[in-house]
Amino acid sequence: MNDYSLITLEILAVIVGLGALMVDLWIPASARRALGYGTAAALGCLLAFAAGSLSPQAGLGFHNTFVVDDLARYFKTFFLFGAFVVVLMTVDFAPKIGSGLSEFYALVCFALVGMLFAASANDLVMLFVSLELITVTFYVLNSFQRGRIASLEAGIKYLILGAVASGFMVFGIALVFGSANSTNFGVIASRQAELAHSTVFLTGLLLVLVGLGFKIAAFPFQAWAPDVYQGSPAPATAFLAVGSKAAGFVLLVRLVTQAVPQIAAEWNRLLVVMAAGTIAYGSLCALPQRNLKRLMGYSSIANAGYLLLGVVAMSTSGSTAVLYYLGGYFFTVLAAFTVICAIAEHVEGDDIANLAGLGQRSPFLAAALSIAFVSLAGIPPMVGFFGKVLLLRAVFEGAAAHPSFYLLIAVAVVGVVLSLYYYFGVIRSIYWGANPSSLAPISTSLGTKVALAACIGGIVFLGVAPSSLLKIADQAVQPKSATAAAQHAAAH
Amino acid sequence: MPQFTDLLFFAFAGMALLFGFLTVANPVSRNPVTSAMFLVLTIISLAGLYLLLHAFFLAAVQVLVYAGAVMVLFLFVIMLLDIKEEERRRLKTFTVGVGSVAVAALLGILTVSALSAKPGSPAGQTRLAVGDTAELGKVLFNHWLLPFEILSVLLLVAMVGVILLSKKDLK
């Protein structure tokens, strides 16, 4: 029994991707800009479709491998928003990409398809297949600027390390299947008590975590992030930073809270070490950075650490905090990268020092970038502040039972303080940077304005009125849907 | 009293491990063509393991597609590259050291978990006769239909990617 209405969004996203690929054959080269706006418009319609009354009905389908619940819907909306903004920022970045622009849009859509499926994966096979779709697409997107050695280096590094991580993951899935005789999250959840004593199962689960750790760039699987972030074309980096990371987190949250909650609770020491290591590594290494995209790479590692705080807490408030923080992270990082793309033509190189004079050249872009970094640094009233408070509170609630959580909170607070230094270094360079190379004004295109308005609106609105998103996030992680799914699966 | 299939399992598994090791760390030759040939033997040993699991179709496909088509492609690529350069390159002691530690740690974890597994526990519920083409087709296009279709998108992405990254720069 296959209910195809469940995968309407995914099918439509594939059609948009194929459309971008095919339409290119019939339109003149001069209309490439229109193609970008057309793809963005199509994704915008999908976004409205997903967020509106036509959102897919909740339910399990395809032999319980695919689930649509509030958690899946929450992430699907953000993935669509991410793809929408990434396509818009690519329009301004197009001259740097050169040939193959329509393929770039198509690949962004196909990566989006992988993310949409990942949000709904209820089976380790689905998890693996959707992650592979995302990863393989990014192998191509990262090395898209073939003329730049840095871009090729990013592609090769991501390819080799990604392949190793996939190898670990598929081996882990094989061990899980060997001991549990099923790859379905529901079946695994219903047999947790007996599986918790199987060393083979636990080893398999550990290897699956290695694969997910690579996706979210968590310590000690973070080594690829800085080089890949720096070398890849800026729109690809942006989608990697928000989409790929969020896909890793939705799978991690689903696996940890729905498939193996009891085992994950026993593993909290492992997760504490991972979270603390990730925050410490990301924050400390970001301090001496002079390259903006490389700084975003280390910042992305540190943020993976903050997000892991919510996973470590192993509570609904922890999961809510992860969802809320990721929502804010989408707006913030996309805003930063939209500005990076918009100034790519006018500012030579990605060095932070080259941002000097941006405050005079384009007050709008300078303000947008500053708001993004203020939010990343966790200053009220931006969304980043409230997200970090929620994450820390979730860990604090569990600290009575686990004394090691206090240490984790201390590491996180130090990380936040360090982040003030490197984020404000960027803002200082924007407004008070010395020796600006040029003072010619930078004009912003309509697409950039739309994207930035949406992102900045999100950052400020969610910071001032967090309860709107918080309510949705809270509903998405309520265990009721999970147990219903598990019972449903067990009955089959 | 070990059965004949058990002996075959150990033979194929041992061969797969030995040839796999020789693919990546051949003490005699560092010629990539030799490595590719050992990879062919590894793949054939794995096909033997599939046979023992009653996955006849998979075993045949493994030999036809991987040992045949894919490896021929590998050999073409290797021969287009400079083989001598690979042979000249020296290994760094640090890399080998760190790699050995990582491999040893992983091997330790896997050995412990393999030794703790009790044959006949849940994994022992063998489901026979899933290996012929009719059964495989039914499973693939019923239960695993969705992952199968996602893989078709993945193959499209791979094709687009290869063409993009290898074509001449078009203006």
Flag whether pLDDT at A492 surpasses 50. no
HSE on the CB side for A382, CA within 13 Å? 19
All residues of chain A having their beta carbon less than 8 Å from the beta carbon of residue B150 are: 113-114, 117, 126, 129-130, 133
Q: Which of A304-308, A428-432, A440-444 is modeled with the greatest confidence?
A: A304-308
Nearest Cα residue to B83 out of B39, B31, B35:
B31
- Respond yes or no on whether the N-terminal peptide bond of residue A441 is cis (omega within 30° of 0): no
DSSP A59: E
Q: Looking at the complex, does the CB of residue B169 fall below 8 Å from at least one CB of chain A?
A: yes
The mean pLDDT of A171-199, rounded to a whole number, is 89
ipTM over 0.85: yes
- Write down the pLDDT at residue A5: 82
The pLDDT mean for chain A works out to 88
At A283, is the pLDDT very low, low, confident or very high (cuts 50, 70, 90)? Answer: very high
3-state secondary structure of A66: strand
pLDDT at A469: 87
Is a pLDDT exceeding 70 seen at residue A489? no
**Tens-place pLDDT, residues A64-121:** 889 888 888 899 999 999 999 999 999 888 888 877 888 999 999 999 999 999 999 9
**Residue from the list A62, A140, A206 with its beta carbon closest to the beta carbon of B146:** A62
Q: Is A14 on the interface with B (CB under 8 A)?
A: yes
Q: Do B160 and A181 touch (CB under 8 A)?
A: no
* Share above pLDDT 90 across residues of chain A, in percent, rounded to a whole number: 55
| Helix ranges, A26-142 (H) | 32-51, 70-97, 101-120, 124-142
Write out chain B's pLDDT in tens, 171 residues: 568 888 999 999 999 999 999 988 888 887 888 888 999 999 999 999 998 888 888 899 999 998 888 888 888 888 887 667 766 677 788 888 998 998 899 899 888 888 887 665 444 455 555 667 888 888 888 889 999 999 999 999 999 999 888 887 654
CB spacing of A63 vs B143 below 8 angstroms: yes
A-chain residues within 8 Å CB-CB of B144? 63, 65, 125
> What is the Cα–Cα distance from B59 to B65, expressed in whole angstroms?
10
- How distant is the Cα of B167 from the closest Cα of chain A, in angstroms? 10
Residue range A221-264, pLDDT digits in tens: 998 999 999 999 999 999 999 999 999 999 999 999 888 888 88
Look at A266-275, A329-338, A437-446 and tell me which has the smallest mean pLDDT: A437-446
Sign, Cα dihedral of A60, A246, A50, A390: positive
Q: What is the pLDDT of residue B1?
A: 53
- State how far residue B125 is from chain A, nearest Cα, in angstroms: 8
- Between CA A282 and CA A303 the distance in angstroms is 8
Judge whether A30 is closer than 8 Å to chain B, CB to CB: no
Least confident of A150-159, A261-270, A347-356, B7-16: A347-356
Nearest to B145 among A2, A107, A178 (CB): A2
Kindly list the domain boundaries of chain A, sorted by start residue: 4-491
Residues within 8 A of A (CB atoms), B 71-110 only: 109-110
In this prediction, residues A399-414 reach a mean pLDDT of 89
Give, in order, the Cα–Cα distances in Å from A297 to each of A292, A315, B150, B160.
9, 29, 29, 27
Taking CA atoms, A163 is separated from A136, A211, A243, A481, B66, in Å, by: 9, 10, 19, 34, 18
Nearest residue in chain B measured CA to CA from A106: B157
Within a 10 A sphere around the Cβ of A143, how many other Cβ atoms?
Answer: 27
Q: Which residue of A has its CA nearest to B145?
A: A62
Q: Measure in Å the smallest separation between the Cα of B69 and chain A Cα atoms.
A: 21
**Can you list the pairs that A467-472 forms with residues at least 24 positions away whose Cβ atoms lie under 8 Å?**
A469/A324, A469/A327, A470/A320, A470/A324, A470/A390, A472/A70, A472/A74
If pLDDT is split at 50, 70 and 90, which confidence band does A353 have? confident
Quickly count: other Cβ atoms within 10 Å of residue A304's Cβ: 28
Lowest mean pLDDT among A240-254, A302-316, A435-449, A477-491: A477-491
At A67 the three-state DSSP class reads strand
Smallest CA–CA distance, residue B64 to chain A, in Å, is 23
Structure tokens belonging to residue A91: 């329009």
Distance CA A44, CA A56 (A): 17
Separation CA B64–CA A218 (nearest Å): 40
B-proximal residues of A, 391-450, CB under 8 Å = none
Tell if the CB–CB gap between A132 and B112 is shorter than 8 Å.
no
Residue A371 has pLDDT above 80, yes or no: yes
Residue A491 has pLDDT above 90, yes or no: no
Q: With an 8 Å Cβ cutoff, are A140 and B121 in contact?
A: no
- Tell me if chain B has a CB within 8 Å of the CB of A492: no
Q: Is A106 on the interface with B (CB under 8 A)?
A: yes
Average pLDDT score over residue span A47-62: 77
**Chain A residues whose beta carbon lies within 8 Å of the beta carbon of residue B114:** 200
A100: contact with B, CB 8 A cutoff: yes
Across the interface, whether the CB atoms of A203 and B110 are under 8 A apart is answered yes
- Gap from A113 CA to chain B (nearest CA, Å): 9
Q: How confident is the model at residue A195 (pLDDT cuts 50, 70, 90)?
A: confident
Q: How far is B15 from chain A (nearest CA, A)?
A: 19
Burial (Cβ within 10 Å: 0-12, 13-18, ≥19) of residue B108: exposed
Of A129, A199, A203, which is closest to B150 when you measure between CB atoms?
A129
The predicted structure's pLDDT at residue A56: 65
Residue A272 and residue A249: Cα distance in Å, rounded? 16
Residue of chain A nearest B148, judged by CA positions: A129
As a whole number, mean pLDDT of residues A296-323 equals 92
If you average pLDDT over residues A361-373, what whole number do you get? 91
Flag whether residue B150 sits within 8 Å of chain A, measured between CB atoms: yes
